[in-house]
Amino acid sequence: MTSTVTLNDGTIIPQLGFGTFQVPPDEAASTVATALEVGYRHIDTAQGYQNEEGVGRAIADSGIPRDDIYVTSKLTNSKHERDDALRSFDETMDKLGLDRVDLFLIHWPLPTQYDGDIEGTWKVMLELQETGRVTSVGVSNFQPDHLERIISATGVAPVVNQIEAHPFFRNDAARAASHEHAIAVEAWGPLAKGEAVDDPTIREIASELGREPSQVVLRWHVQRGDIIFPKSMHRERMEENFAIFDFGLSDEQMERINGLDRGEDGRQGPNPDTFDRV
């Protein structure tokens, strides 16, 4: 059983999903099939992960009604120009084998590429939404000024901003800017790529609660209100990561985890202001 978040367009997303970054293409179908068996009903993929086909196969073979699974994909960095974006979206739908995706995101803002035309890319996303083949559109790795720019150009706010966030990098500036515009935050790398489970404070809180360190970290995210989709290739870990709705952290335990933030030094991924790989 997982909780849900209502997005600013009125649609509903499961707060806990399954991430597929670095799930190899040839293992994607079996890995996602296992995640669906465990109970996950929200899958996060991307054009850049090259595993959309496996994700689609797992969904088709699962026998689970399409509308019971929330599916997200993302526009890859090399396809921001209108024609490329439209064509690559068609390919995404073919690979997923779906006629509708729940959420499609701009993967990275790339402010130093494409003449800095973040607004133009956002307009293409809105055009895609008009076709009815994407229910909701959002962004990923957008900094506060990137959000301001696309909203003032179009008057339309994304439903989510998917950003790096975990105990070592709370990323509260981008979170606050998102919340100001009623944009839900999706925290990628919620386990800090697995490193957070070895942190002594996390382990101490886990032993206080009789839970696993991963569950403590994921529960912290959920209590902050963020949407998460931890990735694992292992069924036991998928099960562990899924079982986070039958306990809670006290305010004091939340504060101890908040104290692990290292600011910019805690960032594990690229800085969106300078990241320019297409």
Ligand X SMILES: NC(=O)c1ccc[n+]([C@@H]2O[C@H](COP(=O)([O-])OP(=O)(O)OC[C@H]3O[C@@H](n4cnc5c(N)ncnc54)[C@H](OP(=O)(O)O)[C@@H]3O)[C@@H](O)[C@H]2O)c1
The catalytic residues are 49
The answer to whether 138 contacts ligand X (rule: CB under 6 A) is no
Question: Exposed, middle or buried by CB within 10 Å (0-12, 13-18, 19+), for 129?
Answer: middle
* Interface with ligand X, residue 21, by CB under 6 A: yes
Place of tokens 């090399």: 78
Residues 6+ apart with CB under 8 A from 278: 77, 78, 80, 110, 113
Residue burial 76-104, b: 16+ Cβ < 10 Å; e: rest = bbebbeeeebeebbeebbebbebeebbbb
The residues in 29-68 that bind ligand X, with binding defined as CB under 6 A, are 44
Under the phi-then-psi rule, with left for phi > 0, alpha for psi from -120 to 50, and beta for the rest, what region is 43? beta
- Candidate list 89, 104, 229, 242; residue touching ligand X; CB under 6 A: 229
* Cα angle 134, 138, 139; round to 5: 135
CB of 158 or CB of 190, closer to ligand X: 190
In the list 19, 54, 56, 109, the residue contacting ligand X (rule: CB under 6 A) is: 19
Residue 241 engages ligand X in binding (rule: CB under 6 A): yes
* Binding track over 63-102 against ligand X, x by CB under 6 A: ----------------------------------------
Least distance from ligand X to the Cβ atom of residue 148, Å: 20
Interface with ligand X includes 142 (CB under 6 A)?
A: no
Binding residues vs ligand X (CB under 6 A): 19-21, 44, 107, 140-141, 162, 188-194, 197, 214, 229-234, 237, 240-241, 269
